[in-house]
Structure 1
Amino acid sequence: MGGNRPERGERETGEEKNFSLLLCNGGRKKMMQGAFLGLALLVFLGNLMMWIIMPTFTYYLKWLPQLLAHTNSTFFDIQGTIMLNFTLPILFIGVIGCFYIHLGKDASQHNNVQRRDYLKAVRQPKIIKALGIVTWIELLFVAAFVVLCVWYFAAFIHYHFSTISIYAASKGVQVWQAKIDRVALVIGLTGNICLTFLFYPVTRRSSILPMLGLTSEGSIKYHIWLGHITMLLFTAHGLLYILFWALSHRLYEMVKWDPHYVSNIAGEISLVMGLTIWITTIPGIRRKMFELFFYTHYLYIGFMAFFTLHTGIFYACIMLPGFYLFLVDRYLRFLQSTQNVRLNSARILPCQTFELNFSKTPGLKYSPTSIMFINVPTISKLQWHPFTVTSNSNLEEDTISAIIKCEGSWTKKLYDVMSSPTPVDSLQVSVEGPYGPAQTSYLRHDALVMISGGSGITPFISIIKELIFMSSVRNQKTPKVLLITIFKNSSHLSILDLLLPLSPTTSFTISNLDIQIEAYITRDTKPTIMLENPEPARAVWFKPKTSDVPISSILGQNSWLWLAAIISGSFFIYLLLVGVLYQYYVYPMDHGSNKVFPYYTRALLNVLFICFGIVISASAAFLWNKKQIGREAKHIQDSSRSYANVTVTNDQHQELESFPRKSLNTSINTYYFRRPDLKRILMEIEGSSVGVLASGPKSLRHDVAAICSGLPNNVTFDSNSFNW
């Protein structure tokens, strides 16, 4: 009553107008994004120039004296000069990145249609045994990084060897022994370059990686490479110094803690912690004793703390920005993980796979292929496991879902809890995320080929749902989709039921999407009895506690603007505290000589100031947004209860489970006891732009990448494979 409700056609017209307005604004936002990206590139090139010039005579004899003369002050001492050259530029880029992502988040799916990819040729995959799947552009950056490290090492060797005789005489050792000393030092300095970049790939809420078209989950391989190189160089650094001390009869140096210079024992403690982490990354140990690998990684806290005590805060400021941004992200993750989220239901599939359905706030938007980390304290209080989000924030406004397959002890225990004949009424769950790419490029292609093995289909479910939304609501032209799935048994075909939204009454249908599904069963020779008479998925409903909250963005809808404020505010607090310390305590004591106030005390206070600034700024932002999100959450407090009441009857339950299969049957071809001829299939795909995505076992992804590398340039392989 009360008023006329708008018809569906009128609603769609309004949505089309909003979309047109979005496209108009998108052009302006793209220009602003380009300006921010150009500014970030300019600042980075300036910072890179400082890295290149630092190991030369020009820097120490000309640049550094001038920099100190113009920037040294009683507020920050020489630390201010170092932060100005190496710390502030990267943090500034981090803030710029926040604005860049904020401008692009609304139009990430709509402004990239049929945009020409000028870097397509260099993005083609190449298989290198030691590195896995890499693109030519990745190889270019790897080569540039290696050149930087080689230059840094060679230039510093030249710098130190030019006065080696004088240095040897001052130390009272022979020249060849002094050379071992200097080589050990330079190897350590080169290792610091790798340490500087080590934490960028594992910063999940990174504002820098998206500007490079990267995501944290897709950049883990860079963290692995950098970790190996870092520990190799630091180990050589430590062993060479021990050799030098032994040859010069100075082994007492191993336990020396110089209050006004390098602390050797702090460096040794840091190295031992780093070696412990490094050993547990050996593939055999990591796979067989994952918990040991996982828990050992927490030693990074001690590793970085003792590294700072070893080098002193002056030099630690050079590698500070990457670790600083990581600490901001890590503390925000901690704040999110302290909340218990509202788990509404679970769907148990007949293939030892289950779907968890959580309540979320409507304001939480995420992109396809996003992941979230899940913790269930009743199984393990410390273990967090990543799972791909299979729901779509446009189709399922109040729900976020993830599929979990039994492939380890943790997932097996959780499956036993879910599939128990007497399931629990509620389950305490915490999450971090979701995290996903800032932009996606699926609409750029005429055709999409998705090739999955086993549970690798999960990221493709979210992509297909996004394409359904784009074709149904936006009325956009979507690419032709070919989904090739490879399963061991027929029972795994039930996963395909999850390709559509849960509700059978939804207005979004797959009929507008040109999709073909080719399912290959490798072990069964014919349809099983289970497939001919499929067992419906079993729904398990939970009764969330009143204290459980819907999943929401930790910093609200304007999360990137808040992140920029946190980075800026926390660093301002840090600078303020450091300035007060130096001006009113350190400088009156040593008058800039750095010979009275101990280095280790200075380093410890700086570490405490950094943590204090981050905790204050991030906590304030979190609490402010928690209040705002709480108001939004009130509107969906009863959603899980009402949803459960709708689907509780047997007839409705059968309708719910049969609807997706009926809609998809016409699009599915099933082949038994066969594997797909991927090369033939990919060569037969027509289109001026064909996107190929692979997800699943390593061997499958490598096979697809190898095939794509030999195909024409109209075929583009997505090298950001979905494996953690």
Structure 2
Amino acid sequence: MNNMIIRLILLLVFVGWLIVWIMVPTKTYKYTWKPNLDANLTSTYFGVQGTNLLLFAFPMMFVAALSCVYLHLVQKKSQNSNEIRSSVAAGFWRRPVVVTAPLGVVTAMELGFGVMFTSLLVWSLANYLITSFGNLHMHMNMMSMDKVWQSKFRSVSLRLGYIGNICWAFLFFPVTRSSSILHMFGLTSESSIKYHIWLGHLSMLLFSVHTVGFIIYWGMTHQMAEMLEWSSTYVSNVAGEIAIVFAMAMWVTSIPRVRRKMFEVFFYTHQLYPLYILFYVLHVGASYFCMILPGIFLFVIDRYLRFLQSSQHAALVSARVLPCETIELNFSKSKGLDYNPTSILFVNVPSISKLQWHPFTVNSNSNMEADKISVVIKSLGSWSQKLYKQLASNSVEHIQVSVEGPYGPTSSHFMRHKGLVMVSGGSGITPMISIIREIIFQSTKPDCHVPSVRLICAFKNSADLSLLQLLLPLSGTPSDLTQIQLQIEAYVTRETEQQPPSSQKPSQTLWFKPNPLDLPISGVLGPKSWLWLAAIISSSFVLFLIILGMVTRFYIYPIDHNTGDSYHYSFTCLWYMFLVCASIFIVSSTVFIWCKNQNAMERNQIQNIEVPTDTIDDRELESFPLHHESLIAQATQVHYGTRPDLKKILLETKGSDIGVLACGPKKMRHEVAKLCSSGLAQNLHFESISFNW
């Protein structure tokens, strides 16, 4: 009951926030609401920004903090049958309705939100133009040389910038990895990256037209000197031009074709975003910064917590080198760190690149392996190839690694289905492994229903079949495959017959020497991470408001008396950005140090672990019981020289509620999504697991 009340409060506040955005471009807001609000909220403590802080910043900060409390309560409460039935009923909204390039797989819910957001942009632009065209005489009085069409041209260019600012209000939510707001909608940052990309492309298109429009306007009206103006009382044109240069560099290198061929160029160029934010805020001013503050504020909190976690070196215990040029990295972790299947761990290896971070799906299970977390890395790009060669050389005794995460869903939602069909291609089998391990663990619980599993996996070569070895962990809780209905169909597409065992390299397990400076992976905020995150969000925002009020009252107000004419326009922006960062750093660092001290004793246990230092051949000392191998072999049927007939497999699948999970090449995922959304099989519920769409 308490959870329902919290969700109702969150819904009301969120809807109220959206209504404010709908009303902002209207005449009612401009001529009625805003004057009354400014009269009551403008003060010596927050100046003219009191209205924007209350209407735009406070609601979403409240939603973010209260969502953390809600998620903590949900974690403490086991899922009951009623919640499972409601999840199945809500499956309609997760059903694909559009499967096409460049959007990819779009669900009914995503399409609905997309239509509403597009409507908001169109509504806002139309109302802004109606209001501004009605006041052209005011602008023409200031610029007497302007003709009517020139004033309208300037007005359109300016209002396109306003619409781009709306995109910025939502731009940073999808890339906040530990976002409580995303989890409230059942999303993760990995599944929401596409929203960030869509918003990024749209905002850049609007800002590009905004910039070009003003350059053309200045040229037509012989005011090109405006390009060099850094006004002390109004927006800085120079700051906007610098911002658009950084933005263009990020935009061009993020085009899919460029990103795929020159990933490092894309990665390093995208690290210009702090400079882009800095000059963007200097251009738009404190007023518009307050309107988009929640997204940036929550992103900075998340980014700083990631920095604190990655500043520690993770304890890499062992690595399993498979013959298909794939490695499994096994890290030590604290027993208090829990995560769900399909979670993501970001890995940095300074010996290869000090700046590059790469995401990998966690294939281990926190229930079966209480003190270990593992990721699988396929040797594909230059970074992973260097790492594979380094490990395959058998001469490595220790590797320094830093990690961020793991990040993932807050629940094992796939367990609600009566049956699962998992379709994977190549290394796309990794998240399926984590799900199968979770099902194995759940099958050990009394009176626990687990879905039947049919794994359809496609590989290029027979060497890739060694990935099936990862279905069972090297160590941990004993696994019993006999308790689940597991059927594996493997397709080897580039070979027509089984290769002799002598033609393949054996799998190897490397054990690394422990380093006292390496620490087990633990949650950056400990087991009660959602409560601590709520404390950070609320405390840092309150601290920001308190310090801002003091600076405004005792330093800025005596200079400009809320006129905005005496104190430099850009200095106000710098104060706001500095105080945001300072408040976040102070509160986050305090909480992090407290949590770190609480977990100090557990983390020191890594120093007492003794592991062999020699390379072990898996043929001589198998990592898991032999009867497990035989059970996997019995459940596996291998097809050579053919691809899986997905249409036949899916449409002939029996059962009233079948979850279909797909991970791998885009073409395969899209084919599966189209089949599930075609209406030919109403019992299929599609769920994509991928960074691409």
TM-score (norm 2): 0.96
- 2:559 pairs with 1:589: yes
Name the residue aligned to 1:487: 459
| CA deviation vs aligned residue, 1:487-545 (integer Å, no higher than 9, x gap) | 11111111111101213x84331110111001111111111012x78754211110121
Q: 2:589 aligns with which of 613, 616, 619?
A: 619
Task: State the secondary structure of the residue aligned to 1:208.
Answer: helix
Name the residue aligned to 1:76: 46
List aligned pairs for 1:32-51, cutoff 5 A: 32-51=2-21
Q: 2:261 aligns with which of 288, 297, 302?
A: 288
Q: 1:119 aligns with which of 83, 90, 103?
A: 90
Name the residue aligned to 1:707: 675
Cα contact 2:460–2:493 (8 A) shared by 1: yes
Query: In the TM superposition, what is the alpha-carbon distance from 1:651 to its structure 2 partner?
Result: 8.3
The one-letter code of the counterpart of 1:91 is: M
Name the residue aligned to 2:132: 160
- 2:377 pairs with 1:404: yes
- Unaligned 5+ runs, structure 1: 1-30
List aligned pairs for 1:634-645, cutoff 5 A: 634-639=604-609, 641=610, 644=612
Task: State the secondary structure of the residue aligned to 2:659.
Answer: strand
- 2:115 pairs with 1:143: yes
How far apart in 2 are the matches of 1:629 and 1:467? Answer: 30
Cα contact 1:351–1:491 (8 A) shared by 2: yes
Name the residue aligned to 1:686: 654
List aligned pairs for 1:643-654, cutoff 5 A: 644=612, 653-654=621-622
Cα contact 1:487–1:521 (8 A) shared by 2: yes
| CA deviation vs aligned residue, 1:171-201 (integer Å, no higher than 9, x gap) | 2111111111111111000010111111111
How far apart in 1 are the matches of 2:503 and 2:633? Answer: 15
- 2:685 pairs with 1:716: yes
Query: In the TM superposition, what is the alpha-carbon distance from 1:399 to its structure 2 partner?
Result: 0.5
How far apart in 1 are the matches of 2:691 and 2:469? Answer: 21
Name the residue aligned to 1:675: 643
List aligned pairs for 1:215-226, cutoff 5 A: 215-226=188-199
Cα contact 1:153–1:187 (8 A) shared by 2: yes
The one-letter code of the counterpart of 1:191 is: G
| CA deviation vs aligned residue, 1:64-106 (integer Å, no higher than 9, x gap) | 1211122221100111111100011011111011112111224
How far apart in 2 are the matches of 1:306 and 1:535? Answer: 54
The one-letter code of the counterpart of 2:433 is: I
The one-letter code of the counterpart of 2:89 is: Y
How far apart in 1 are the matches of 2:238 and 2:436? Answer: 56
- 2:542 pairs with 1:572: yes
Q: 1:698 aligns with which of 666, 678, 689?
A: 666
Q: 1:508 aligns with which of 479, 482, 486?
A: 479
Name the residue aligned to 1:543: 513
Cα contact 1:120–1:713 (8 A) shared by 2: no
TM-score (norm 1): 0.92
Name the residue aligned to 2:499: 528
How far apart in 2 are the matches of 1:614 and 1:354? Answer: 38
| CA deviation vs aligned residue, 1:259-310 (integer Å, no higher than 9, x gap) | 1111111111111111110010122221111111001111111111111111
Name the residue aligned to 2:488: 517
Cα contact 2:506–2:617 (8 A) shared by 1: no
Q: 2:278 aligns with which of 305, 314, 326?
A: 305
Name the residue aligned to 1:467: 439
Name the residue aligned to 1:4: none
Name the residue aligned to 2:249: 276
Cα contact 1:259–1:600 (8 A) shared by 2: yes
Task: State the secondary structure of the residue aligned to 2:434.
Answer: helix
- Unaligned 5+ runs, structure 2: none
Q: 1:419 aligns with which of 386, 389, 392?
A: 392
The one-letter code of the counterpart of 2:511 is: W
Query: In the TM superposition, what is the alpha-carbon distance from 1:713 to its structure 2 partner?
Result: 2.6
Query: In the TM superposition, what is the alpha-carbon distance from 1:632 to its structure 2 partner?
Result: 1.7
Query: In the TM superposition, what is the alpha-carbon distance from 1:648 to its structure 2 partner?
Result: 6.5
Query: In the TM superposition, what is the alpha-carbon distance from 1:722 to its structure 2 partner?
Result: 5.1
* C-alpha RMSD of the superposition: 1.9
Task: State the secondary structure of the residue aligned to 2:123.
Answer: helix
How far apart in 1 are the matches of 2:93 and 2:332? Answer: 42
The one-letter code of the counterpart of 1:187 is: L
Name the residue aligned to 2:400: 428
Cα contact 1:202–1:216 (8 A) shared by 2: yes
Cα contact 2:506–2:619 (8 A) shared by 1: no
Name the residue aligned to 1:19: none
Cα contact 2:352–2:383 (8 A) shared by 1: yes
Cα contact 1:696–1:723 (8 A) shared by 2: no
Q: 1:381 aligns with which of 354, 362, 382?
A: 354
